[in-house]
Structure 1
Amino acid sequence: MEYTFLATAPFGLEAIVARELEELGFHDRTVENGRVYFKADPLGALRCNLWLRTADRVMWVVGQFQAETFDELFEGTKALPWSDWLPRGARFPIEGRSVKSQLSSVPACQSIVKKAIATKLTETYRDSWLEETGPTFSVEVSLLKDQVTLAIDTSGQGLHKRGYRVETGPAPIKETLAAALVLLSRWKAHRPFSDPMCGSGTIAIEAAWIGAGIAPGLLRSFSMESFGWLSTQEIHDIRDEAEAVKEHIPPMNITATDIDAHAAALTTQHALLAGVGKYIQVSQQPLRQFSPVDPYGCLVSNPPYGERMGEDREVRMLYRQLGEIMRKQETWSTFILTSHEEFERLYGKRAEKNRKLYNGRIECHFYQYLGPLPPRPKKESEQQAHLA
């Protein structure tokens, strides 16, 4: 049986999440700000948790209704068949958000929803007290223009928690955003890839996982695995299917460098934990020494923004240096995420494309300088000419 789910996403990445869902075979999708609705069965929901690279969470939508008063919120919530979803003893913490709605107090909305669910479960199970000692079903109440959406979180921890990052640098980028930058670059495994300001290595590792076709959720578990929706065998089968991909990883040329020795060491550690250590060449190296030999490469980086006091001068020099280096690499494509308003001027060239994204709460732009694509292999060119 199919249910309605939604994949949450940072603003600006909804189309990327929708494209990922399409590639996973979920064609019935609706895109809204910060979320993508889709239809799936429980096995499909687990597949999405396992394979989506850029979504924050996968939520199971259990109810939607209008509410302008707390009474309407209580009654609309209580009317839902919670005992069909929450077993006796289930823990059900409530998360909430409210945007442009009459019910603007999020704590109050959370309290009302908690009370309504507890009342319904008490009536159904005929328990005078609910012992929340079982599996966790985290419930989200979301209000947008008085439209209430109630959903159960199937992910648990946010999907950016891949399981390979034990420590971060001073300005970390979420794994989901790093994957989005790589996907937006349209990089493929047959091209060289580099991040010369790699920090703790997140972008390079996500690129390696994308190039290798490794499921980003393979190192972790999801809350829905304890819901009782799927048998142990079904869960093992879908994970074994993802593990099998590792047997056919193509060769890749990925480099990650940073001027900071600790950052380079972290990148090495994280790459090993992610299972892609042998595919990423890591070294301590200042940006000025970046001089790739192979043509038609792809540089994707999240350099310092100069947001901290005293950093702006160094950051300006860094951006100028990057522009000078990449102007000599005519066959390379460059993709930079930064919040610095003068990046293009300092880099010395206007970007072909410019996309607004958010790194946490920081409004950034993803500057895209598109180099030529590598020539097609001779056999492919001859085959296409023959078909023409």
Structure 2
Amino acid sequence: MELIATCPMGLESIVARELKELGYEDMMVENGRIRFRGDELAICRANLWLRTADRILINMGEFKATTFDELFEGTKALDLPDWIPANGEFPVEGRSHKSQLSSVPACQGIVKKAVVEKMKQRHRKEWFEETGPRFVIEVSLLNDVATLTIDTTGPSLHKRGYRKLVTEAPLKETLAAAMILLSRWKPERPLYDPFCGSGTIPVEAALLGWNIAPGIRRSFPSEHWPSLPDNVWQQARDEAYDLVRDDVPLQISGSDIDPAAIEVAKASAKSAGLGKEIRFEVVPVAKIRPSGDYGCFITNPPYGERLGDRSAAEKTLRQLGSIFDTLESWSAFVLSPTKQLEHYWSKAPTKRRKLFNGRIECTLFQYFGPLPPRKPKEQ
């Protein structure tokens, strides 16, 4: 079947790389989504393993729809009852862009009516109580082409389940994971986040370092679908547990000037089962003392709003730049809405990459230091 992994703008190539690492090569990258081919097990694996995607959708079909009649008949022709049982709950969500059918509520109503008619034919019933498993249908209209999907994920994949508390303006787990994947960090290298807030970057790094599937601690609505046998989900979860490498030593640290933020970070790490693997401390950026060689700063410095004024934010950036200058073998990856980070640091970045922190356009400034020397292969 064709599946769709949705993601924030700018992360498409990272999600595509993750899918390839899972073994799914047949794909097409588009704005905000990656189409790929897979079976029932692919649904489970993608939900458990993708660190930078938002949702996994089943593409039920696409067709031209410039009128409500075309939308109704196109929807009715799809085999949605193959997935939705007689007691299934099937709400309809929608969006429309550059299409003649611009009223989203009207489109949702038409699709709902068409699905009900198809369900009547399949199940020989006139009324559906919708008390069973949940199947969220989405109708997406773009340039007069309707795409109908079923959501297998439920709450976005960034909701891993370990973050019970949050600080002000927390970084999404998916974006934190993307920053780590865009760096060249490996578990044998130190990682330090001097503005760790609620600890998202260090926790995501530890999950990656130990090869823990980010979705392993949460549930998904598709786990309750009769069309996806229990043994498929069990197989995917057993695979994930077998692949955990919790014997790998980690050198991951985070600090913040806010004691309350550090308490939240410690709680998140403990909830993720990583409380003993990450070192958190309350310390201003000017006094941090990273240890080790070939380490990585991976951080999202607070913007002016969080610090109270813009000058304070600029001062902390300068302080971090001064410390980075003293660490000749280290790399740095700094996400910031300012486009002139090098104005506060003494050198230009190796690369820049546009990313979105929610709706805020940011730049990931990438300063690549030397890689650790390769270890000689054992004879």
Give the TM interval when normalised to the shorter protein.
Answer: over 0.9
Structure 1 position 22, deviation (Å): 0.3
In 2, Cα distance between equivalents of 1:99 and 1:351: 37
- Pick aligned residue for 2:222 from 221, 224, 239: 224
Q: How does 1:1-388 map to 2 (within 5 A)?
A: 3-246=1-244, 248-307=246-305, 310-377=308-375, 379-380=376-377
Structure 1 position 247, deviation (Å): 5.4
Structure 1 position 309, deviation (Å): 9.2
Range moving further from structure 2, 138-147 or 221-230: 221-230
Gaps of 5+ in 1: 384-388
In 2, Cα distance between equivalents of 1:281 and 1:309: 23
TM-score for both structures, normalised by structure 1: 0.94
SS in 2 for 1:278: coil
Structure 1 position 238, deviation (Å): 2.2
Range moving further from structure 2, 80-89 or 150-159: 80-89
User: What per-residue deviation string (whole Å, max 9, x for no partner) do you get for residues 55-107 of structure 1?
Assistant: 00000000111111222111111111222221102111112122222222222
Q: RMSD of the alignment, in Å? A: 1.6
User: What per-residue deviation string (whole Å, max 9, x for no partner) do you get for residues 29-50 of structure 1?
Assistant: 1000000001111012101111
User: What per-residue deviation string (whole Å, max 9, x for no partner) do you get for residues 152-198 of structure 1?
Assistant: 00111111110000011111111111101100002100100110100
Letter in 1 for 2:17: R
In 1, Cα distance between equivalents of 2:363 and 2:325: 20
SS in 1 for 2:244: helix
8 Å Cα contact 1:7-1:36 kept in structure 2: yes
SS in 2 for 1:337: strand
Structure 1 position 305, deviation (Å): 2.1
In 2, Cα distance between equivalents of 1:38 and 1:260: 43
In 2, Cα distance between equivalents of 1:291 and 1:109: 57
TM-score for both structures, normalised by structure 2: 0.96
In 1, Cα distance between equivalents of 2:84 and 2:228: 15
Structure 1 position 230, deviation (Å): 3.5
In 1, Cα distance between equivalents of 2:126 and 2:203: 51
In 1, Cα distance between equivalents of 2:167 and 2:49: 26
Range moving further from structure 2, 267-276 or 118-127: 118-127
Letter in 2 for 1:63: G
8 Å Cα contact 1:306-1:340 kept in structure 2: no
Tell me how many residue pairs correspond in the alignment. Answer: 379
In 1, Cα distance between equivalents of 2:5 and 2:256: 34
Letter in 2 for 1:99: H
Share of identical aligned residues, percent? 53
8 Å Cα contact 1:213-1:249 kept in structure 2: no
In 2, Cα distance between equivalents of 1:308 and 1:217: 30
In 1, Cα distance between equivalents of 2:245 and 2:21: 21
Letter in 2 for 1:257: S
Gaps of 5+ in 2: none
8 Å Cα contact 2:40-2:232 kept in structure 1: no
Structure 1 position 115, deviation (Å): 1.5
Letter in 2 for 1:315: A
SS in 2 for 1:373: coil
SS in 2 for 1:148: strand
In 2, Cα distance between equivalents of 1:73 and 1:237: 38
Range moving further from structure 2, 154-163 or 302-311: 302-311
Range moving further from structure 2, 46-55 or 226-235: 226-235
8 Å Cα contact 2:161-2:217 kept in structure 1: yes
Structure 1 position 123, deviation (Å): 3.5
Range moving further from structure 2, 45-54 or 72-81: 72-81
SS in 1 for 2:96: strand
Structure 1 position 308, deviation (Å): 6.2
Task: Provide runs of 4+ in structure 1 moved above 4 Å.
Answer: 307-310
Range moving further from structure 2, 289-298 or 252-261: 289-298
